[in-house]
Amino acid sequence: MLKSQKVLFGIGAAIILLVAAAAFAGPFLYKEYFAPRAESSPTLRANEGVLDGTAAGKPLDPAALVGVWQVSSGSEAGYRVDEVLNGTNVTVTGRTEKVSGTFTVADDGLTLQAADLTVDVASIATDSSSRDAYFRNDALRTSEYPDAKFVLTQPVTVAEAPASGGVLTADVAGDLTIAGVTKPVTASVEVQSDGTTAQIAGSIPITFADFGVTAPNLGFVSVEPQGAVEFQLRAAR
pLDDT single digits (tens) 108-133: 999 999 999 999 999 999 888 888 88
Residues 5, 7, 8, 14: what is their CA dihedral angle, to the nearest 10 degrees? 140
For 125, which DSSP code? B
**DSSP readout, 53-107?**
SSSTTPBPPGGGG-EEEEE-TT-EEEEEEEEEETTEEEEEEEEES-EEEEEEE-T
**What does the pLDDT read at residue 54?**
45
Pairwise CA distance, residues 166 & 56, whole Å: 8
Helix (H) or strand (E) holding 189: strand 181-193
Say whether 44 sits in a helix, a strand or coil: coil
d(CA 11, CA 168): 64
Q: What is the pLDDT of residues 186-236, one digit of tens each?
A: 999 999 998 899 999 999 999 999 999 887 666 666 788 899 999 999 999
Do 199 and 43 meet the contact criterion of CB atoms below 8 Å apart? no
How many whole angstroms separate alpha carbon 218 and alpha carbon 209?
A: 17
SS3 3: helix
pLDDT > 60? residue 154:
yes
Q: Does 46 have pLDDT greater than 50?
A: no
Distances (CA, A) of 90 to 19, 95, 96, 145: 22, 17, 20, 27
pLDDT of res. 224: 86
φ/ψ bin of 212: left (φ > 0), alpha (ψ from -120 to 50), beta (otherwise): left
pLDDT digits (tens, 9 = 90+) for 17-33: 444 434 444 444 444 43
Q: What pLDDT is stored for residue 49 in this prediction?
A: 44
Please report how many Cα atoms fall inside a 13 Å half-sphere around the Cα of residue 33, on the Cβ side: 5
Predicted pLDDT of residue 221: 67
pLDDT tens per residue across span 78-104 = 999 888 776 678 888 999 999 999 999
For the whole model, what pTM was predicted?
0.79
